[in-house]
Amino acid sequence: MKSVELKTSLLLYAVTDRAWLGKNFCCETLSDAVFQAIEGGATLIQLREKELSEKEFLDEAFSIKEICASKKIPLIINDNVKIAKETDVCGVHIGQSDMELKEARKILGADKIIGVSCQTVEQALQAEKNGADYLGVGAVFSTSTKTDADNVPLSTLKEICSSVKIPVVAIGGISLQNMSQLKGSGIAGVSVISAIFAQQDIRSSTKELKSSAEKLFPSFIDC
């Protein structure tokens, strides 16, 4: 999956978080939460796990992969290139401090998607040069998920989008209430966590986000 197909898949990029599971919300398992998100309109799933053992992460990845495959939704693994390789998912997303992009490409192969987190134009241009398929830029708003993430001004987001040819996804603190501030920035879509997975009705919340994203970022939908 590359080019146009990838761009359309980035519209509503849902990043998992198990922190809210079983806490008076609608889902007891991550698999159920992912299913509800996809039913609501999530266009891509990123499996993000920071606390699981390698075996638990692997088992979870296979379980989520089965759900995504049945709905024809791409699955990306956060950070862990080894898990992405073993499960043969669509790709991996890496940060500036994670494995080198070129090394990840060597392990995964040319046909897999590799996204890279960036906060500056220089980082974005370097990632594109090294073969990234898309960029995740942020945090565009303050976020409780990554407390160590510095905010990226809207002006920088726009500059990055205009400086690279690969698609850009905005990340960090994005919600239904603030998403409209990103209109006209040039992004292909938004990456969201709590706006989906912390909601009591994941399916309905995702549906609202998808509807808003389609109106705000239409240039990538019909291309």
DSSP-derived 3-state class of residue 42: coil
Told to judge if 23 belongs to the known catalytic residues of this protein, a careful annotator would answer no
Told to judge if 163 belongs to the known catalytic residues of this protein, a careful annotator would answer no
Of 48, 112, 203, 210, catalytic: 48
Q: Which of the two residues, 96 and 89, has the higher pLDDT score?
A: 89
> Per residue in 176-187, pLDDT tens?
999 999 999 999
163, 107, 174, 103: which is closest to 135 by C-alpha?
Answer: 163
Of 18, 82, 85, 146, catalytic: 146
* Structural domain spans, the chain: 3-218
Of 9, 117, 191, 205, catalytic: 117
Looking at the predicted structure, is the pLDDT value of residue 173 above 70? yes
> Per residue in 15-38, pLDDT tens?
999 988 877 567 889 999 999 999
**pTM listed for this prediction:** 0.94
Looking at the predicted structure, is the pLDDT value of residue 49 above 90? yes
Taking domain 3-218, whether its CATH number is 3.20.20.70 is answered by yes
> Per residue in 113-152, pLDDT tens?
999 999 999 999 999 999 999 999 999 998 766 656 679 9
What does each C-alpha distance from 117 to 98, 148, 219 come to in angstroms?
10, 14, 22
Told to judge if 146 belongs to the known catalytic residues of this protein, a careful annotator would answer yes
